């Protein structure tokens, strides 16, 4: 398994209507910027591009990377806000439905909640989880379930009419509790059109939260004794504009020291 991942954070400015078919074309244009890069995972935000499984599968295959996209899935007459994961060959590896669905989604978009079971997906670099928006940073259950299944990295696709400023804080807590990197991807700032009304979405701030690189047990002990804040775990944080940002994510420290951290703090896992 790889110790380091190369990840692309795709922070787009969508068209106002979530289901506007032009969002798919825009997503594909942004993914073109990733071509030629040795990427492991490319991540799009929540509700973007809303549709386009076939086209996104082709893009994942062309990139030779795992791709996480925010799609709306229909099953049994119900709609679900779903993080859909494509593997490097363009096949669907798995889907994660959002559990904590807010009133705006329920009333204006007709979204139903998922079953509350969070699934870790096996990849060629280890296991990953893809909890959607507030499922990660607003409640502890998703991260706990995923890490207990062996997830070594979490991708959090999000979109924010409110509470963007709390996003990185809540995600830092989840990262510490589970000693896991968290990659959060938002849209750029834009005004959405929902139910005939304009709803401002506070864009940007996509981030990479990364536990520190620790080499051996002595390094771990020194770091733990000096631990006062984990604010420096935020290694990357984007502005509010449309961006495609490539970053490296380190997994070896998580694999080596996660259980030791839990033991030191008495976490019962």
- Per-residue pLDDT of 212-235, as tens digits, reads 999 999 999 999 999 999 999 999
Whether the per-residue pLDDT at 62 is higher than 90: the answer is yes
Would the pTM of this model clear 0.85, i.e. be above it? yes
Q: Comparing 6-15, 52-61, 151-160, 189-198, which segment has the lowest mean pLDDT?
A: 189-198
Average pLDDT over the chain reads 97
Q: Is the pLDDT of residue 46 over 90?
A: yes
90-115 pLDDT tens trace:
999 999 999 999 999 999 999 999 99
Q: Please check the confidence at residue 204 and state whether its pLDDT lies above 90.
A: yes
Nearest to 82 by CA among 71, 74, 94: 71
Q: Which domains does the chain have, with CATH numbers?
A: 4-265 (3.60.110.10)
Select from 68, 77, 263, 24 the least CA-distant residue to 157: 68
Calculate what percentage of the chain has a pLDDT beyond 90: 98
Cα gap 178→48, rounded to integer Å: 28
Q: Which of 175, 253, 263 is nearest to 216 (CA)?
A: 253
């Amino acid at each position: 398994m790889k110790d380091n991942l190369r990840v692309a954070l795709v922070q787009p400015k969508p068209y106002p209507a979530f289901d506007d078919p032009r969002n798919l074309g825009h997503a594909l244009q942004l993914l073109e910027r990733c071509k030629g890069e040795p990427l492991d995972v490319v991540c799009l935000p929540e509700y973007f591009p809303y549709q386009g499984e076939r086209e996104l599968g082709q893009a994942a295959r062309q990139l030779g990377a795992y791709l996480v996209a925010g799609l709306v899935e229909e099953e049994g007459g119900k709609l679900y806000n779903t993080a859909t994961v494509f593997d490097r060959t363009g096949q669907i590896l798995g889907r994660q439905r959002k559990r904590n669905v807010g009133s705006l989604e329920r009333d204006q978009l007709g979204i139903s909640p998922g079953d509350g079971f969070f699934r870790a997906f096996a990849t060629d670099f280890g296991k990953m989880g893809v909890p959607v928006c507030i499922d990660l940073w607003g409640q502890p259950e998703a991260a706990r379930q995923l890490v207990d299944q062996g997830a070594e990295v979490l991708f959090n696709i999000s979109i924010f009419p409110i509470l963007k400023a709390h996003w990185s804080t809540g995600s830092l807590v989840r990262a510490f509790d589970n000693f896991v990197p968290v990659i959060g991807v938002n849209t750029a700032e834009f005004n959405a059109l929902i139910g005939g009304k304009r709803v401002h979405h506070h864009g940007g701030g996509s981030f990479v939260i990364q536990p520190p690189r620790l080499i051996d047990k002595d390094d771990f002990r020194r770091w733990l004794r000096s631990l006062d804040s984990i604010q420096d775990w935020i290694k990357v944080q984007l502005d509010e504009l449309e961006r495609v940002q490539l970053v490296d994510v380190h997994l070896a420290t998580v694999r080596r020291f996660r259980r030791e951290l839990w033991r030191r703090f008495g976490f019962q896992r």
